[in-house]
Amino acid sequence: MAKRTTVKRQIRGFAVMWTAISLTIGLAVFFAVYLTYSGGESPISAQSSVSLPATPTPQPPAGPTITPQIRPSQTPQTDAGIIVAQSANVSEATQQPAVAPTETPITVAQAQVVQPEQFEATNTPAPTATLLPVNQTGFVASIQVQNSTDFNPDTQRVWMNEVKALGLSWMKMQLRWAEVEPTKGEYLWAKLDLALPIAQEYGIQVLLSVVAAPEWSREPNADFTNEGPPANDQDFADFLTAMLNRYPGMIHAIEVWNETNLIREWGASTGVSASDYVQLLRVANRTIKDIDPGIIVISAAPSPTGVNISEGGITLVVDDFAYVDQLIEAGVLDHADCFGAHHNGYNISPSEFWDTVPNDPTAEFRGPFDNRHPSWSFRSTLTTYANKIQSAGGTQKLCVTEFGWATVEDLDAYPQNFEFAKDNTLQEQATWIVEALDNMEEWGFVWIANIWNLNYGPQLGWDATNDNVPYSILGPNWTRRPAFDAVAAWSATRKNSQ
């Protein structure tokens, strides 16, 4: 009995001791937590007080300052039945390497940054935030580049090195939607997978001209001998969405279509229509801005035709001045950051107005001299567009997405109807490209000026009958034409003066 009582006392003593130890540990934990957070915010309340920076809203570029005075236009005429100022864009090779499509966004590897364990304070200024493309409103010079047709990254880097040698930080490339999405929802991204990461690697910003709806997206009765728009604009929006999600930050400007005042580019069954084009632009602009509001949206540049042509009640060609009026009336200025323009300068200086061009009795191509019209003149065409935009209350500048002068002085032939290329010397090509760059920057109403072109000559084997080759500033046997050196010198001088 005494033994049982002793055991009970031992059990009670153990229980009391265990309870005391537990209370002591609990109090210690409580005070530790209290001391840790006393006098400060709780993690939850501190987190809830953080405010995220607001997303900046892109602002349109400053309004144009119109210096030149445009002369009154006359009745459009043609020279030998040729539509004025045609500049056909050559399609790049359609062959695609066997690459399985993927929706994974493309990224460029970044150099690893090693943080030192100790460092000394310096007076280095804080880095300046990189402006969105749409906010880079200063004058920009660019050049058209045709991508490596064999999808060779080494060749592509050759072209990027040439762009850098020119002192330029922008390039333009054309993308045929029909080649990338031959079947709805199935994409062949090889061309962009090659070009865009390498351009980013070189610090080159990209202006992308998107054209040519695939056959599956067009009207059932579409004439496939002409390029044309989709029957349903949402198909184009879906394509832009897929592209921009795949290449975030690699596309800096998009020109929505090309020369839509020509039936060969806007081959709809109802014919050329400014209002139909603006509807496509509206959808494209909304899609682009929803994904990346920093991208510059450029309206399709008209072709400087100078004529109106209809057949069977269908409009085939519209005079570019009239077409600009129609675009403005349809609301183009509500859906673009920049107004697209083209001009390939024939055989006269970019400083000449159409009605004061001095006669050149040696010129074989007589259009600008014997059949005077604004469409022959680089200056008259651009100033007229700018004045029309300003008169409509628009603040948009021009993005001249194609300009240049053709010469066949170092070639053994010339393209059909390109007699003006025979009149221009290599030195005139160089002089007039630089003169045009100086003029556009001085006039103040041009934002982006894209030289046509860098490398269609070597890419096409310097085939002189192709109408893109005489504009190339890389000549036969990989020589740099005088225009190449002239642009490089212009860039260097401009950089040193800034």
In sequence order, what are the beta bridge partners of 256? 210, 299
Q: Which helix (H) or strand (E) holds 371?
A: none
For residue 87, the model assigns a pLDDT of: 36
CB 148 within 8 A of CB 155: yes
DSSP assignment, residue 169?
Answer: -
Q: Which two tokens stand for residue 291?
A: 């994904």
Give whole-number Cα distances, 481 to 43, 158, 434, 471, 478, in Å: 66, 16, 13, 10, 9
Determine the pLDDT at residue 105: 63
Reduced to 3 states, what is the DSSP secondary structure of residue 361? coil
Instruction: Return the pLDDT at 137.
Output: 84
As beta bridge partners, residue 403 has 343, 451
What crossing angle do the helices spanning 274-291 and 233-246 adopt, rounded to 10°? Answer: 30
In the prediction, which pLDDT does 494 show? 94
Q: Which of 300, 279, 400 is nearest to 350 (CA)?
A: 400
Query: Please, what are the averages of pLDDT over each run of 10 residues along the chain (498 residues)?
Result: 44 50 47 37 29 32 34 33 36 39 47 31 43 87 95 96 98 98 98 98 98 97 95 98 98 98 97 98 98 97 97 97 98 98 97 97 97 97 98 98 98 95 98 98 98 96 95 96 98 91
Q: Work out the angle at residue 420's Cα, subtended by the Cα atoms of residues 483 and 305, and round it to the nearest 5 degrees.
A: 105
Return the pLDDT at 378.
98
Q: At what angle do helices 153-165 and 482-497 cross, to 10 degrees?
A: 60
Indicate the pTM of the whole model.
Answer: 0.77
pLDDT at position 498: 77
| Helices marked H in 68-218 | 153-165, 177-180, 190-201
| Crossing angle for the helix pair 190-201 and 153-165, to the nearest 10 degrees | 40
**pLDDT for the residue 497:** 87
Question: Of all residues in the chain, what percent are helix, strand and coil, respectively (each to 5)?
Answer: 40, 15, 50
CATH architecture of 61-89+132-497: Alpha-Beta Barrel (3.20)
Query: Is the preceding omega at residue 371 within 30 degrees of 0, hence cis?
Result: no
Distances (CA, A) of 196 to 103, 208, 318: 15, 10, 35
> What local confidence, expressed as pLDDT, does residue 83 receive?
38
Report the chain's terminal Cα–Cα distance, integer Å.
107
Q: Determine the pLDDT at residue 93.
A: 36
- Among 357, 402, 445, 469, residue whose Cα is nearest residue 64: 445
Return the pLDDT at 106: 58
